[in-house]
Structures are given as structure tokens and as C-alpha cells.
Amino acid sequence: MDKLAKLMQDIGILWEKYRMMYLNGMLNTLGLALAATAIGCIIGLLCGILNTIPCAKNDPLPKRILLKILRVIIRIYVEVFRGTPMMLQAVFIFYALPYFTDNALRFDNIWAASILIVSINTGAYMAESVRGGIISIDPGQTEGAKAIGMTHFQTMTSVILPQAIRNILPQIGNNYIINVKDTSVMFIIGFTEFFASHRYIVGINNKYFPSAVIEMAGYLAMTLIASGVLRLVEKLMDGSDSYELVQEDPLTMTAGTYSHPKRGSNFDERSKEYGGEREGR
Amino acid sequence: MADNILEIRHLRKSFGTHEVLRDIDFDVKKGDVISIIGASGSGKSTLLRCVNLLETPTSGDILYHGENVTGKSVNAAKYRSHVGMVFQSFNLFNNMTVLKNCMVGQMKVLGRSKAEAEQQAMRYLEKVGMAPYVNAKPRQLSGGQKQRVAIARALAMDPEVLLFDEPTSALDPEMVGEVLSVMQDLAHEGMTMLVVTHEMAFARDVSRRVVFMHEGVILEQGSPASLFGDPQCQQTKDFLSRFRNS
């Protein structure tokens, strides 16, 4: 028990002293994760649209070659950035520029470099999620849009992607939460996110475990809030199940426009049906 | 020839080695109401999908006002906006309300203003009796209601020809009537229609011309009175007698 009390005391001391540093770290982590997930989603959506441009046998040859090249490029991008550790990608991109230009050019802005790296990484995952989302939409939706004369781009932006995005929203949430945690590897290029705060603080005073407890609680709080918000967004996107009938002229009331009483109420025919059956027995 | 909207010449379509359409020839004139009948698998739907370029014909020509639309340099999207299509499975946009379904094509494809598109959409939704449901989403509607919205969506684009691909085949029997009556009204108003159907009563009473397809070819065509009253081919007789007996 006295160990627990000691732990609480240590946490209290750390929080008292380094509160601003922890909070600043959390803020940076959230900002990076949010920006990178958003940009990653855009990259993923673009890849999705480009990947699904229809290509028929009788299309002109240059178009077919161009599409083929495009698909190969996207495939390479996805496989490379999905298949290598983000920490290495960060080192790779961050140090490649000064290496090739003899230090003439380098990333002065750590924020920009971090967002770039995490976005590219997220985009590679999102490209596959978006592809899955697009496949999941009934081909009839595409045909319906084509039949009224929409182009591929119009079909994608107004019909397919809105439905696909709804379907991959849980996946976007996954990616965001992964980003909140995995941006911790950005300390390698000197980005001061939440985990970097921890490294700095324990470097000064050796209170490893109490600081780790704060980190754990902090990360959990950030991800829990994110899942909550995402579920809310999903609900909002689904919209309400009820809708208003617009009755302009009461004489036009036709069969089928009868609004049903609440389920389970005395006037509900559905419940009566079952009730009747039971009485009959 | 001048009033031909569509001329289909030597149309062929194969899926792999299976030849679904074999040398189809026919014309669609303004105001024509043509029913295409025949057994399942005879190529009726494929023919209609080829006319709308949803399937690419293997060979042959489709002329729209004398202009070939099967060539490489043709803007298929623009052509499709003149040729409306109603599907067996409705294909309403699930992410939009009934009203938006009827507006999106007008605004994106025809470049109409929002107010104009809404006015036009409401006009046709009223016509098919779906005006009270403008705020509903497709998933909240019955099959017959969805199909009526789909017809309004196609009409709102002011098409020159409307293609119906078995519009009542996915409906419960009690909903078939509401869709057919909408189609009958359209026919009487002079809409040019090409209808693939298993509703023989509709083919007989509403259409001006009936086309009988069998194994990828047009075996027989003519006025409903002559085709139903005095079929020439044995296959047509067999097909029709099956319907009479059922």
C-alpha cells in the first residue's frame, strides 16, 4: 500500500513540475496524428479514384499505357510504405535530402517533416482501405450513375466515395489511433511529441515508472476520446431513420403514405398480429 | 430515316466464347414504344445494356441520330445523358434522399441550377406519385416506390429515349401495378420507350411494337396484335403458349 502511495506522490511531483511539458507533448501528438491522418486519407482517396478508372479493351493505347503505369506506381508506393518501419522511413526521408545536397538542403521545419512522413505512411494504408471500401459498394450504384451520364470522377465523388467513406470510417479511426501511438517514433528526428516529453523528463530525474504511468494514462485518454468522437460521427453520417412526409394536398393521399403508429403501441398492427396469434392458441 | 433516334446495325456481343447477341438490327423512331420479350438468357437485357453502352458491343454499330456512338472518340457519358435507363434492381443512390437522387444528375451532368433542378425533380416526382417522399432515403422505401423514383430520376434528365430493363421483375406482385401504370402514362404522353419485360399484358396493351428474341437473334417483330394474335415462328408460339397456360 505504501508503494502505491509513493507512486501517487511521485506522479504528483512529476505532474506539478513538468505539467506543461506533458501537455505540450500531448498537444503535439494530437496535432501530428490529426494532420497526418487527414492528409493520409486524402492520399488514400486519390489513389482509390485513380486505381478504379475503368479501362476497356477498345480504349486508345496511350490511355491504357498511362493507366497501367499509374497503377504500377500506386502499387509500388503502397507496398514500400506499408512494408517498411515508419521509424526507418523517417530517418530515410529526413537524412536523404542533406545527404544528396551536401547539407545545402534539409528539413528545417520538424513539423513539416513529421507530417510528411506520417501522412505518406498513413496514405499507403488508406489506399488499400479505400480500395476495399469502393469494392464493397454494389456495382449497381456505378451503373445507375453512369446511366444518367456521370463521368468516372463525378460518379466517384458524388455516389461511390460518400458511401465508401462511411464503410471505411472504422478503418480511418483505426489509423488515427495507430497514428496517435506510433508518432512516438518521430522522436528519432527530434519531434517533441508526448513520448519525447517522457524521455526528456526521465533523463533529468530517473522517475521512470511514475512517468510511464502518466504516459499510459495520457495515451489511453487520447485514444478513448478519439473512438468516442468517431462513433458519434458514424451516427451522424447514418442520419435519422425517420423522415417527414411532405403532404401538400390531402387529396393525393394514396395507399402507402399511411404513417405507422409507434412500434409496440396499442395501435401498432405488427404487435397486434403477434398478440392475436397468442390469443388464438 | 430522318426521325430515327436510334439505329442498331449488325450488333454482336460475346462474353468470352459465348455469343449472347448475334447480328441484331433494329430502329427506334421517335414516339416508339417497343417491348422486347423472350425467354431468360435470350439476350434481351444484354441488348439494352449495349444500347446504353454499359456493355461494349463486340462488333456492329449503334447510331444515335445517324452518329455512331460505338467509336473510340465518342463521349459515352454525354450520349448516356440523352438515353435514360431504369434498372431491374433500381440502383438508386443510397447516400442521397429521393429528391437529391433526382437532382444530382441534372446539376452535375446538365449543369442546371439548384432551383431549376429541384423544380424539375419535383415535377416528375409528382408525376410518379412520390412527391410526399422527397426526404426519404432509398432504404426506407418499398420496391415499387424505389422503381417509381428511379423512373422520375431518369425523366428529370429529359432523355430522348427511356430504356427499361425488366423494371417489374424484382417487385412483389402487388407493386407491379403501380410501376406499370406510370409507364403506361408515359407511353400515352409520347415518350419513346424500349422495354424489356415479362409482363405480356403490358407488351400487348401498351406497346406499339413487340420484338421477340430467341438465342441472341430477333426472331420476329411486329404490332402486338399480329405477334400475339398470329405468331409466325414455332419458338414464338411455344413461348407465348407457356405464358397463356400459366
3-state DSSP assignment of residue B237:
helix
pLDDT at A256 over 80: no
| pLDDT computed for residue A24 by the predictor | 92
Please give the interface size between A and B, counted as residue pairs whose CB atoms are below 8 Å apart: 96
pLDDT digits (tens, 9 = 90+) for B12-47: 999 988 999 999 998 999 999 999 999 988 999 999
* Partner residues linked to B18 by β-bridges: B15
Which chain B residues touch A60 with a CB distance below 8 Å?
Answer: 72
Closest to B109 (Cβ–Cβ): which among A149, A162, A241?
A149
Cβ distance B56 to A257 less than 8 Å, yes or no, reads no
HSE toward the beta carbon, residue B208, CA cutoff 13 A: 13
A110-135 vs A161-182: helix crossing angle, rounded to 10: 140
| pLDDT computed for residue B2 by the predictor | 54
Report, as an integer, the average pLDDT of A72-88. 93
**Minimal Cα–Cα distance from B160 to chain A, Å?**
12
pLDDT at A76 over 90: yes
pLDDT at B104 over 90: yes
A86-100 vs A110-135: helix crossing angle, rounded to 10: 130
pLDDT digits (tens, 9 = 90+) for A202-220: 888 888 899 999 999 999 9
| pLDDT computed for residue A266 by the predictor | 54
Alpha carbons A61 and A57: distance in angstroms, whole number: 9
Using CB atoms and an 8 Å cut-off, which of residues 54-73 of chain A contact chain B?
A: 56-60
pLDDT at A275 over 50: no
Instruction: With residue B34 as reference, give the H or E element that holds it.
Output: strand B33-37
Report, as an integer, the average pLDDT of A113-128. 92
pLDDT digits (tens, 9 = 90+) for B53-96: 998 899 999 999 988 988 777 888 889 999 999 999 999 999 99
| pLDDT computed for residue A263 by the predictor | 57
Closest to B80 (Cβ–Cβ): which among A146, A241, A245?
A146
Alpha carbons B99 and B117: distance in angstroms, whole number: 10
Cell of B171: 417487385
The secondary structure of chain A, three-state, reads: CHHHHHHHHHHHHHHHHHHHHHHHHHHHHHHHHHHHHHHHHHHHHHHHHHHCCCCCCCCCHHHHHHHHHHHHHHHHHHHHHHCCCHHHHHHHHHHHHHHHCCCCCCCCCHHHHHHHHHHHHHHHHHHHHHHHHHHCCCHHHHHHHHHCCCCHHHHHHHHHHHHHHHHHHHHHHHHHHHHHHHHHHHHHHCCCCHHHHHHHHHHHHCCHHHHHHHHHHHHHHHHHHHHHHHHHHHHHHHCCCCCCCCCCCHHHCCCCCCCCCCCCCCCCHHHHHHHHHHHHC
Instruction: Using CA coordinates, name the residue in chain A closest to B78.
Output: A149
pLDDT digits (tens, 9 = 90+) for B152-210: 999 999 999 999 999 998 888 888 888 999 999 999 999 999 999 998 988 998 999 99
Of B233, B220, B187, B236, the C-alpha closest to B26 is B220
Cβ distance B129 to A252 less than 8 Å, yes or no, reads yes
| % of chain B at pLDDT higher than 70 | 98
A252 touches chain B (CB under 8 A): yes
Question: Cβ atoms within 10 A of the Cβ of B234, count?
Answer: 9
Report, as an integer, the average pLDDT of A176-183. 92
**Minimal Cα–Cα distance from B227 to chain A, Å?**
31
3-state DSSP assignment of residue B75:
coil
HSE toward the beta carbon, residue B198, CA cutoff 13 A: 16
Alpha carbons A115 and A37: distance in angstroms, whole number: 9
pLDDT at A114 over 50: yes
pLDDT digits (tens, 9 = 90+) for A6-64: 999 999 999 999 999 999 999 999 999 999 999 999 999 999 888 888 877 667 788 88
Interface mutation target, options A138, A148, A234, chain B, most CBs of B under 10 Å: A148
